[in-house]
Amino acid sequence: MGGIGSNIMPRTTIKRPLAPMKLIRISLILCLFLFLVIVFSLLLGTAKVSMNQLWCLFVGSPKANEMVKLIVFKIRLPRIVLAGITGFSLSLGGVVFQALLRNPLADPFILGVSSGGALGAVIGIILGLGFGLGIPLMSFAGALLAIYLVLVMGRRKIGMESSTILLAGVIINAFFTSIIMFFIATSANDRLHTMLFWLYGDLSQSLYSQSLVIGPVLFIGFIILFGLARHLNVITAGEETALHLGVNVERAKMICFLVVSLIIGLVVSFSGLIGFVGLIVPHLGRMAFGSDHRVLLPVSSLGGAVFLIAADTIARTVISPSELPVGVITAFIGAPFFVYLLKTRGSGWARS
Amino acid sequence: MVACVLTLSWSVLTPAATFRDALGREVSLKSSPKRIVSMAPSLTEILYYLGLGERVVGVTQFSYFPPEAGQKPKVGSYINLNVEKIISLDPDLAVGTVDGNRPGVVKLLDQAGIPVYLVNPRSVRDAIKTVASLGRLCGARKKAEDLSYGLYRRMDRVFQKTVSLRHPVVFLQINIRPIMTVNRNTIHNDVIRLAGGVNLSRDEPMTYPTISVEEIIQRRPEVIIISSMERGGRFEAVKRRWLKWPDIPAAKTGRIYLVESDLLDRPSPRIVKGLEIMGRLIHPEVKWEE
């Protein structure tokens, strides 16, 4: 039984240089997927948009229908862009958490980091802060607090216990969610009442301006994390190995936690709580391309974008003209997947 | 002739009128709207009341009054609207409520160039004013003013007949399980007040508080009104549950009544009907018919 151990590279490969062509090839294939899912998602919806009309729009043909233009550019595209960015971020967060905690079941949602961000955002709304800076900052602080609590609660005398971390995540999730519900139930603030939708993930009010806030942060964050990909490889392989190779693990970990919390906090403040994306996609990526983080980071992130755009397309079409929160779709797919992983892999990473 | 052409081109080039909605937003209409999307059941009722039903091209999920409104294309529920569906109906006006419709939806419709007019009725008087303002918006000013004046007269009649009487404590139950009620910031509270009652939970901090039986026994309501769409059996069961507490004056005297919730929940013309029913239930001693 290979188990999770098969996902861990033999120590000799840790320093093996990566063939850049391989990475480029895989990324291009995924970008093609991304393009296809975007086109698909632009075509589907309550209003009928044909391939022909879409083509007319994008080549700027004068035959383009004004209403179709509105629906495609003002409603569907901003939503797809935000869904893509959100999926990218959550999946990226998932990969990094899984590496840092050496736990295949780690995910921003399961660890309570998302609900930490959500709590921060809710407090920001109660304090009357703006969506431009105040609320995302509060959300970042909440996400950071959650991950700090997970680490503190999960820390045993000897290193980190894998299942303890997951339990810590469950506890933090429950606690933060209860505080959020308390605020929603007791607040006279009208803005909070509509947040029940947001708690299950809501992309229905997407604007380009939101993507413009997250986009640059995500770009820089991704570059930093990608730069630390080899550190992540080493951390996954085990702390002794890291010490052996003379890698400054603690500093790399600290940077990763900060960057991921920032990204997740931002994403949550706009899209709400969307679970399991960071669990499903990185795992599929690992099965397909192995666990070298130099490949896994870009693959999972792009895959996350594809996955969430697809999930959101289902969410807004399946009971049309009403729509479901996208978190309902991701949890519906993700929760059984989680059970499957738990059954086949256990909650531990490698116990070599 | 020249003047006629001039005025015509003038009306094409400039907005026919600019209106200010409940949020103070300026809503400019080029001409009297012909394709209206209603984003709340109460607004659908008002549009039909004004005889503008034919101009309504889209309604929300629970817009089933008047029955023919239910035949119109649906644009989602009022709190979960499908913006894409609204745009695809090509409306020249969308009317919504500040409370129910989420700000994001309004922003998206704004961006799509669809004029959105929001109302925020918090009292019976506000609901009646909404009839007048929607009428003005849709170029049915005279009719709207006549109709709203009629509604106003009916409201005032109930108020005048009960205002000087002793106001009994009224408990309004808007949800059966858990037991929920309303505070002073609701239109329900206004209905109770105008009908000559005192809302038992008017000072609760939450708008729709959940309240315990214990608390209700302590506050001794003289009338219990259950606002629900349930009829018959379910209501009888709830009533029996209240009758078990003879310490509650309303249970002792059997003054526990059912009122169709649509007549109390919706700031539409029918709320005046709800008010008249409430007046009769709270003050049966008044001579209502003349």
What digits encode the pLDDT tens for the residues B142-188? 999 999 999 999 999 999 999 999 999 999 999 988 899 999 999 99
Asked whether B125 and B148 are in contact (CB, 8 A), the reply is no
> Taking all residues of chain B, what is their mean pLDDT, rounded to a whole number?
90
The pLDDT score that the predictor gives to residue A9 is 45
What residues in B contact A77, CB-CB < 8 Å? none
CA distance A329 to chain B (A): 17
Residue among B84, B112, B206 minimizing CB distance to A45: B84
* A-interface mutation test, from B37, B79, B88, most A Cβ less than 10 A away: B88
For residue A194, give the chain B residue with the closest CA.
B102
CA distance A184 to A195: 8
B75 reaches A (C-beta below 8 A): yes
Is residue A13 within 8 angstroms of chain B, CB to CB? no
Phi, psi at A311, each rounded to 5°: -60, -40
Instruction: Write down the pTM of the prediction.
Output: 0.86
User: Does residue B264 surpass a pLDDT of 90?
Assistant: yes
Which candidate from A45, A70, A323 shows the least CB-CB separation from B80? A323
Instruction: List CB contacts of B280: < 8 A, sequence separation 6 or more.
Output: B286, B288
What residues contact A112, with CB distance under 8 A and at least 6 apart? A146, A149, A150, A168, A169, A170, A171, A172, A173, A176
Q: Which pLDDT value is given to residue B156?
A: 97
Give me the residue from A46, A74, A76 closest to B85, CB to CB: A46
- Kindly state the average pLDDT of the residues B31-55: 95
DSSP state of B141: H
pLDDT, position B12: 46
The distance from CA A134 to its chain's CA centroid, rounded to whole angstroms, is: 22
Test A322 with B185 for CB contact under 8 angstroms: no
Calpha distance B290→B286 (Å, rounded): 11
B284 in contact with chain A, both atoms CB, cutoff 8 A: no
Determine whether the interchain pair A197/B108 forms a contact, defined as Cβ–Cβ distance below 8 Å.
no
Residue A212 CA, chain-centre distance (Å), reads 17
Mutation for A interface: B102, B107, B203, B210, most A CBs within 10 A: B102
B205 in contact with chain A, both atoms CB, cutoff 8 A: yes
Task: Tell me how far apart the alpha carbons of residues B103 and B61 are, in angstroms, rounded to a whole number.
Answer: 19
CB–CB contact A71 B84 (8 Å):
yes
For residues B83 and B109, the answer to whether their CB atoms sit within 8 Å is yes
Per-residue pLDDT reduced to its tens digit, A138-169: 999 999 999 999 888 877 655 556 678 888 88
Query: What is the per-residue pLDDT for B173?
Result: 95
Q: Looking at B100-233, which runs of residues are DSSP E strands? A: 116-119, 169-173, 198-199, 223-228
Using an 8 Å CB-CB cutoff, list chain B residues near A323.
76, 80, 82
Output the CA torsion A9→A262→A326→A346 (10° steps). 30
How far is residue B169's CA from residue A11's CA, in Å, rounded to a whole number? 78
Is B184 in the A-facing interface, judged by CB distances under 8 Å? no
Is some CB atom of chain B closer than 8 A to the CB atom of A312? no
pLDDT by residue for chain A (352 residues), tens only, comes to: 334 444 444 444 455 666 788 889 999 999 999 999 999 999 998 888 888 888 888 888 777 788 888 899 989 999 999 999 999 999 999 999 999 888 888 899 999 999 999 999 999 888 888 777 888 899 999 999 999 998 888 776 555 566 788 888 889 999 999 999 888 877 766 666 667 778 888 888 888 988 998 999 999 999 999 999 988 998 888 767 767 777 778 888 899 999 999 999 999 999 999 999 999 999 999 988 888 999 999 999 999 999 999 999 999 999 888 888 899 999 999 889 888 887 876 655 544 3
8 Å CB contact of A71 and B206: no
Q: How close is the nearest chain B Cα to the Cα of A59, in Å?
A: 21
What mean pLDDT is predicted for residues B84-103? 90
Smallest CA-to-CA distance from B209 within B229, B223, B188 is with B188
Q: Look at residues A117, A81, A99 and name the one whose alpha carbon lies nearest to residue A262.
A: A117
% of residues, chain B, pLDDT over 70? 94
Distance, CA of B244 to CA of B239 (rounded, Å): 9
**In this structure, which amino acid lies at residue A18?**
L
Query: Do A204 and B79 count as a contact with CB atoms less than 8 A apart?
Result: no
Q: Is the pLDDT assigned to residue B14 strictly greater than 60? A: no
- Please tell me the distance from the alpha carbon of residue B119 to that of residue B134, in angstroms, as a whole number: 9
Q: For the residues B176-201, what does the mean pLDDT come to?
A: 94
Sole residue written with tokens 């349930």: B230
Q: What is the pLDDT of residue A116?
A: 95
Closest CA to B136 of B126, B127, B144, B128: B144
ipTM of predicted complex: 0.79
Q: What is the pLDDT of residues B15-30, one digit of tens each?
A: 568 899 988 899 999 8
A199-238 residues touching B, CB cutoff 8 A: 204-205, 207
Alpha-carbon gap, residue A115 to A130, rounded angstroms = 19
- What six digits make up the tokens of A160? 């980190």
Question: For residues A345 and B207, what is the distance between their CA atoms, to the nearest angstrom?
Answer: 49
Task: Answer whether A47 sits within 8 Å of B104, measured CB to CB.
Answer: no
Euclidean distance between CA atoms A66 and A85, whole angstroms:
27
Q: Indicate if the pLDDT at residue B259 is higher than 90.
A: yes
| Mean pLDDT across B111-132 | 94
- Optimal mutation site among B84, B102, B118, B175, interface A, most CBs of chain A within 10 A: B84
Residue A4, pLDDT score: 41
Reduce the DSSP state of residue B284 to 3 states and report it.
coil
Of A197, A207, A321, the CB nearest to B85: A321
Single out the residue of B236, B287, B283 nearest to residue B257, CA to CA.
B236
